[in-house]
Structure 1
Amino acid sequence: MLNGTRITVFLLLGFPSLHHQECLIAITFLSSYVAILAGNLLVISLILSERDLYRPMYFFLCNLSFLEIFITTSIIPKAAGSLLKGNKTISYSACLTQCYFYFLLGYIEFVLLAAMSYDRYVAICYPLHYPMLMNSQLCLQLLLASWTAGFLATIIPTILIARLPFCNDNRIDHFFCDSVLLMKLSCAETEIVELITFMASSIILFGSLGMTALSYLYIIYTILRLPSTSSRQKAFTTCSSHLTIVILGYGSCIFMYVQPSSHHVSCNKAVALLNTVVTPLINPFIFSLRNQQMKDALKVGFKRSMITSRRQLSF
């Protein structure tokens, strides 16, 4: 790109060091994407079809699976298509849109994980008052709060980035449009935009992490006070799946925060792969295989589908 020429397209470099394996990477992306869709849609369909799962925890889990599907959809199809076709360009508007939805859905997920930790806190610390405290109205309010927080934390930085001029280099060393790398390509001063973006992400990340940590401190304190070992084990099992996802999600992002700037690009790719491929892929298995009610619902759904198919064959 010549100096003074306004950029209308960006070039996503993807994985330059793995240039000869790009076709294999694309196939892996597409295979993972199909598995993510199948697993999370299965979780959503089970929760919606089984009345025994009409509870706050599964309401939040259903929304978490919904977010996982759309976070993955905003990144993987474009990345896989670019690797397969060899055309790694992305338009200016598509780049901003991809960047917006990736961070919007990611922020919503962090706040939703905090809401799920509050649900586990009420269930373990106040079991007798759980149905009254975690009513449908509160669940909807927590869900609305997570979407509102994600929207407010994303819309202002996105508007500021959209107003930046890009007139020199158009190469983004990533497999999708990352706002941090996008700002580095601007031919204007970006300190204020970077500060606002950093503050917004820090408030969401560390604010929701603080709420989650506080909930689990009370949960652990309550579990340790239970009289029997079986009671403590049962109480811990009810929140172990959620705790696993919390560790994966927050751990990856905090790891990115403490990395030196010289390793930022490679670390960013690793975190993005974890958040857009690995975590959405294993979430359905973590919640299904470690939750007895989900396993029971899966067995009932499988038996029901088998009976239906037999009846159709008999006709």
Structure 2
Amino acid sequence: MEERNETVVSEFILLGFPSLGEKLKIFLFLILLLTYLITVTGNVVIIFIVWVDHRLHSPMYFFIANLSFLEIWFTSVTSPKMMLTFLSVSKTISLNGCMAQTFFYFTLGATEFTLLVVMSFDRYVAICRPLQYATIMNQRLCIQLVLVSWVGSFTVISVPMVLISKLRFCGPNVINHFFCDNTPLFLLSCTDTSGIRRADSILSTTVVLSSLCLIMLSYVSIFFSILRIPTVTGKQKAFATCGSHVTALAVVYGSCIVLYARPSGSFSLDVNKGVALLNTVLYPFLNPFIYSLRNKTVKLALREAFGRRTAKLFPNL
């Protein structure tokens, strides 16, 4: 009789940032909107320029273009809904919409970690085995690595998501977050979540820390190879190539370790929301600048592409 009288939740309320004043919410909405537009535009430009410029038809830029494609979707999973919570009185999201958001957030996140491992391997081969680079990083292998990153991540994350989708929610239905993260969902479920929480924690920790260890192994090898380069100019060029990647890794792994690769309950959900902004808003925003727009070859390709476009639009100039 008790189960029949339980109210089944069909939608959730995303609390977002309730302590902010109305004027501050409008200001933050405009900042987030501008950031989102720049993020999408910047990553689209990278994909386009890698596609059209033959000088960028190399494994490194192929992986960067894939990462840019991923970042567009990753930030689109959370940012539009978060912006709506600043302006809309209704902050609801359907149960199916919530589950879909959770699924794509974690699958795209796992794909990103895998792509970062692939990119670090590419840099390892380029710097540590330059004479064998073209042979090892051939087109077939590059496509296979990208396919494994996407398909493998979606497959692995589908297992816990099937379990999460079977959770019952009987009320309350207020999520203290700006998107449907798994931690607040576990707290709201009226079924026992201890088993799935342990499995989810183990999986998250494994994905984050194993990929980080592989990346660190690659960069340690790269570091010692750079030290053996005889010229100062050669060392500076090699360090510059990897420096931007390390900067990006610090942001994305630092935030994800705090969020998912730590003991549960270490931080409040309010702290989690602040940290989550780093990998849902800041990192996708920085990606075009860190990986591509600081690169001399990319900047030259952009200038030439825009120069040709300007010449077509204004032939008399």
TM-score tier by shorter-chain length is over 0.9
Deviates more, 1:223-232 or 1:124-133: 223-232
TM-score by length of 2: 0.94
The residue type equivalent to 2:16 in the other structure is: G
Does the aligned pair in 1 maintain the 2:255–2:276 contact within 8 Å? no
Q: What's 1:284 paired with? A: 288
1:185-264 counterparts in 2 under 5 A? 185-256=188-259, 257-258=261-262, 261=265, 263-264=267-268
Does the aligned pair in 1 maintain the 2:124–2:219 contact within 8 Å? yes
1:100-119 counterparts in 2 under 5 A? 100-119=103-122
Q: What's 2:303 paired with? A: 299
Deviation at 1:258, TM superposition (A): 4.4
* Identity, % of aligned positions: 44
The residue type equivalent to 1:300 in the other structure is: E
1:1-315 counterparts in 2 under 5 A? 4-20=6-22, 21-256=24-259, 257-258=261-262, 261=265, 263-311=267-315
Mapped to 2, the partners of 1:190 and 1:197 lie a distance apart of 10
Deviation at 1:262, TM superposition (A): 5.2
Q: Deviations over 1:216-241 (max 9, x none)?
A: 01000101111121111111112222
Does the aligned pair in 2 maintain the 1:259–1:267 contact within 8 Å? no
Query: How many equivalent residue pairs?
Result: 311
Does the aligned pair in 2 maintain the 1:153–1:204 contact within 8 Å? no
Aligned-pair Cα RMSD in Å: 1.6
Q: Deviations over 1:98-149 (max 9, x none)?
A: 1110111011001100100000000000011101100111111111121133
Mapped to 1, the partners of 2:98 and 2:188 lie a distance apart of 13
The residue type equivalent to 1:116 in the other structure is: M
Does the aligned pair in 2 maintain the 1:32–1:281 contact within 8 Å? yes
Deviation at 1:270, TM superposition (A): 2.1
Does the aligned pair in 2 maintain the 1:107–1:149 contact within 8 Å? no
Mapped to 2, the partners of 1:250 and 1:105 lie a distance apart of 14
Deviation at 1:177, TM superposition (A): 0.5
Deviates more, 1:63-72 or 1:245-254: 245-254
Deviation at 1:82, TM superposition (A): 2.8
The residue type equivalent to 1:299 in the other structure is: R
Q: Deviations over 1:64-120 (max 9, x none)?
A: 111110011111111212321221111000000011101110110011001000000
TM-score by length of 1: 0.94
Q: Deviations over 1:16-46 (max 9, x none)?
A: 2214322222222212111111111111111
Instruction: Please give the secondary structure, in 2, of the residue aligned with 1:11.
Output: strand
Runs of 4+ in 1 over 4 A off after TM superposition: none
Q: In the superposition, relative to structure 1, how do residues 96 and 291 fare at CA in structure 2: closer, same or farther (>3 Å)?
A: same
Q: Deviations over 1:174-213 (max 9, x none)?
A: 0110011111101111011111211221221111111101
Does the aligned pair in 2 maintain the 1:241–1:287 contact within 8 Å? yes
Deviates more, 1:49-58 or 1:293-302: 293-302
Structure 2, unmatched stretches of 5+, are none
Instruction: Please give the secondary structure, in 2, of the residue aligned with 1:10.
Output: strand
Q: In the superposition, relative to structure 1, how do residues 19 and 6 fare at CA in structure 2: closer, same or farther (>3 Å)?
A: farther
Deviates more, 1:199-208 or 1:66-75: 199-208
Deviates more, 1:223-232 or 1:287-296: 287-296
The residue type equivalent to 2:59 in the other structure is: P
Deviates more, 1:26-35 or 1:263-272: 263-272
Does the aligned pair in 2 maintain the 1:153–1:201 contact within 8 Å? no
